[in-house]
């Protein structure tokens, strides 16, 4: 009985690992299906401040902060809010997006760091 249990445990662990690896591979493939778009905070502004992208796609926003202070990328309509450390970079995943206008801004400098994303 002990020999049978000893043989089954490694097999069960191997099967669990294999089954667990399948969803991980699927999520990696899905992430690759995203179009990358880069935004930059510089001098308390965000570039680009106007952008047009196609509807129905998923996007990977790469947001860089070239300022000496942290900034927060925020978009109420995209339901995203994430701090970007000074000199740092973050990734924000969105989509697929429906046609419309989505504003985005730097929450720590909302008067100067503003942008508009048009999805057509």
Query: Is residue 42 classed as helix, strand or coil in its secondary structure?
Result: strand
Assess whether 25 and 75 both reside in one domain: no
- Determine the structural domain holding residue 24 and report its residue range: 1-32
Decide if 31 contacts 92 (C-beta within 8 A): no
CB atoms within 10 A of CB 46: 22
pLDDT digits (tens, 9 = 90+) for 66-107: 999 999 999 999 999 999 999 999 999 999 999 999 999 999
Q: What's the CA gap between 10 and 100, in Å, rounded?
A: 53
Number of independent structural domains in the chain:
2
Same domain for 60 and 2: no
- What CATH number does residue 52 fall under? 2.60.40.420
In a shared domain, residues 26 and 48:
no
pLDDT of 22 above 70: no
């Amino acid at each position: 009985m002990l020999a049978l249990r000893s043989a089954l445990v490694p097999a069960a662990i191997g099967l669990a690992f294999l089954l667990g690896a399948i969803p991980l591979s699927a999520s990696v493939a899905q992430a690759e299906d995203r179009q990358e778009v880069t935004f930059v905070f510089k001098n308390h502004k965000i570039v680009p401040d106007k952008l047009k992208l196609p509807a129905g796609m998923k996007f990977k926003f790469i947001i860089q902060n070239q300022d000496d202070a942290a900034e927060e990328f925020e978009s109420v309509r995209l339901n995203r809010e994430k701090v970007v450390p000074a000199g740092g970079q973050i990734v924000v995943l969105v989509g697929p997006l429906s046609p419309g206008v989505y504003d985005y801004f730097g929450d720590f400098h909302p008067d100067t760091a503003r942008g508009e994303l048009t999805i057509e």
